[in-house]
Chain A
Amino acid sequence: MVRVPVPDPHRHGRMLALGAYRPVRVVGNDEIVPALGVSDEWVRTRTGIGSRRFAGPGESLADMSAAAADKALAEAGVAPDELSMVLAASMTHLYQAPSLAAEVAHRVGARRAGAADISAACAGFCYSLGVANDLIRTGSAERVLVVAAERMSDLLDMADRSTALVFGDGAAAVVLGPSSTPSIGPVVWGSDADHVRAIEQPRSWRCLLDEPGAGWPFLRMSGSEVYRWVISEVAPIAQRALDAAGVTVADLGAFIPHQANLRLVESLVKALELPESVAVARDVITNGNTSAASIPLAMEELLRNGQARSGDLALLVGFGSGLVYAAQVAELP
C-alpha cells in the first residue's frame, strides 16, 4: 500500500505571468493569394485574416519558445531553477527526440524541472493549463512553465487554399505557481473521434523513406467539416466550462477562443450572448491561426492593448485536430 499525501484544499494554481514571441516577418494576404487564385478581399471575408507571421532563420520552435519563456519567467520573478515542470504544447515539433519541453528546459536553465510535451493541436494550451493547474493543486509540482509554440509554416502547402491562408507562427509561455485562492476553473475537455480525419498530416514521416518522390506530408484540413463542427459543438462546451466554474458571461472580463477564423469567433460571441463589456480576442486578424499558441498570444494582445486587465476572468476555449477540445475559466495573469 503506497502512502500518499492528502491534497491541501486551499492550494490552487494561478497564472503568474505571460510572455510572447511573434516572428519578425509579417506576411500580408497579397503575398500569398497569387498562388491560390483568390483575392485579399476574399480571404478577409471568409476568415477575417489580413496578415500572419512566418518564422525565419533564428526562429526555430525552440528559439521562439525559449524567448517567450524567458519573458514570462522575468515577469513572474521566478528563477528557472525554481521550476518543477516544463510542459510544451505544439503540433509542429518535428523532432521525435528530445521533446520540445526538454529542449526549452535546457535553454532556459530549468535544471530541476521535469519536461514533457502535450500534443493536443489547437487545444494544446487549454490542455496544458488544465494539467499544470492540477499538478500544482495536488502538490505534484510547485511552479510550472507552460509553453505553446508553433511553426505551422513548416507543414503548410502554399498552394492549398484550405490551409495556406489560415495558419501562422508564434510562441507564448505562462508561468504558474501556487495560490491560496482559486484562480483557474475546472477544465472541460474531450474529443470527437467521428472527425478524427478532419485535420491531419495524411502520411507518416516514413513516406519520405519508403516512397521516393512522395513529397512532404503537408497538413490537410477539411475546412467546411471543421467549421460545421465548431458552429454546432463549441458554444455548449464553452457553457459547460462556465457552469463548472460557477460563473456566467456577466462575470467575464474577456473571451479568448482559439483564433481559428474570425467568423467562428463572432459566431461563438453571438451563441454565448456575451455582454458588450466582455473583451473579445480577435488576434487572428493580424496573427492568423497559430494553433496551440493562438490562445495565449491572443491573451497577450488583449492585455497589451488594455482591452483586458490582470485578474480579469477569461473564458478560454481551444479546439483542434482530433477533434479535441478543452475549455476553462481563468484569471488573467
Chain B
Amino acid sequence: MFTKDIHADFADILYEVAGVDPADAAPEKSFTEDLGVDSLSMVEIALAAEERFGVKIPDGELTGLRTVGNAVDYIEKVLAAA
C-alpha cells in the first residue's frame, strides 16, 4: 500500500463530505483548527473511509485523529495489519 494513494483517496472523502479543497488537505493540517471539520463531520468522514478502504474506525479512535496525517496513518496501519 502506498501512503500517497491512501492520502489522495482520503482527501477525496474530505472534499465530498466536508467540502475541503484537496490542496488544503496536507498531512499536518488539523481537522478542527485548520479545516473547519467538527466532530460530527468526523463521524461522516470515518464512515466514508470505512466504506472506501474496507476498515473499521470505531468511535473511540476518532478523538485521537487530530490531523489528516493521523487519519491516513491510522488507515494504513489497519490495512497493514489485515
Interface residue total, chain B, C-beta cutoff 8 A:
9
Q: In the complex the two chains form, is A227's CB within 8 Å of B47's CB?
A: no
Q: Which B residues form the contact surface with A (CB < 8 A)?
A: 38-40, 43-44, 46-47, 59, 62
Q: Which of A224, A225, A231, A232 contacts B39 (CB 8 A)?
A: A224
Q: Provide the residues of chain B in CB contact with A227, threshold 8 Å.
A: 40, 43
Cβ of A45 < 8 Å from any Cβ of B? Answer: yes
Within 8 Å by CB of B47, from A45, A46, A225, A228, lies: A228
A-B contact pairs, 9 of them (CB 8 A): A45-B38, A46-B38, A46-B40, A224-B59, A224-B62, A227-B43, A231-B44, A231-B47, A263-B40
Rounded to whole angstroms, the CA-CA distance of A68 and B58 in the bound complex is: 43
- CA A225 to CA B62, docked complex, whole Å: 12
Chain B, residue nearest A267 (CB): B44
CB-defined contacts of B62 to chain A, threshold 8 Å: 224
A85–chain B nearest beta-carbon distance, Å? 40
Contact B38 A228 (CB under 8 A): no
The docked-state distance in angstroms from the alpha carbon of A263 to that of B47 is 15
Q: Using Cβ atoms and an 8 Å threshold, which residues of chain A touch B38? A: 45-46
Number of interface residues, chain A, beta carbon within 8 A: 10
State whether B40 touches A232 (Cβ < 8 A). no
- Interface residues of A: mostly helix, strand, loop or mixed? helix
How far in angstroms is the closest Cβ of chain A from B80?
A: 25
A225 neighbours in B (Cβ, 8 Å): 59
The 9 A-B pairs at the shortest CB distance, nearest first, are namely A228-B43, A232-B47, A227-B43, A231-B44, A231-B47, A263-B40, A224-B59, A227-B40, A224-B43
Instruction: Report the separation of the CA atoms of residues A225 and B46 in the bound assembly, to the nearest whole angstrom.
Output: 13
| Nearest CB in chain B to that of A232: its residue | B47
Q: Please, which residue of chain A has its CB at the minimum distance from the CB of B51?
A: A232
Contact with B along A220-258 (1 / 0, CB 8 A): 000011011001100000000000000000000000000
Contacts of B44 in A (CB 8 A): 231, 267
- Which residue, of B39, B40, B46, B62, has the highest number of chain A Cβ atoms within 10 A? B40
CA distance A45 to B43 in the complex (A): 15
Query: Chain A, 43-72, contact with B by CB distance < 8 Å: what is the 0/1 string?
Result: 001100000000000000000000000000
A208–B67 Cα distance when bound, in Å, is 46
Give the Cβ gap from B82 to chain A, nearest Cβ, in Å.
Answer: 21
Measured in the bound complex, the distance between the Cα atoms of B42 and A46 in whole Å is: 12
Select the residue from B39, B43, B62 with max chain A CB neighbours within 10 A: B43
Complexed CA–CA distance, A228 and B42 (Å): 10
Question: In the assembled complex, how far is the CB of residue B31 from the closest CB belonging to chain A, in whole angstroms?
Answer: 14
User: With A and B bound together, what is the CA distance between A46 and B41 in angstroms?
Assistant: 9
Q: Nearest Cβ distance between residue A91 and chain B, in whole angstroms?
A: 24
Q: Give CA–CA (A231, B59) in the complex, Å.
A: 13
Nearest A residue (CB) for B58? A228
A224–B58 CA distance with the chains assembled, in angstroms:
11
Q: For A46, list chain B residues within 8 Å (CB).
A: 38, 40
Which of A45, A228, A263, A267 touches B59 (beta carbons < 8 Å)? A228
**Measured between alpha carbons, how far is A46 from B36 in the docked complex, in Å?**
12
Cβ of B50 to closest chain A Cβ, rounded Å: 9
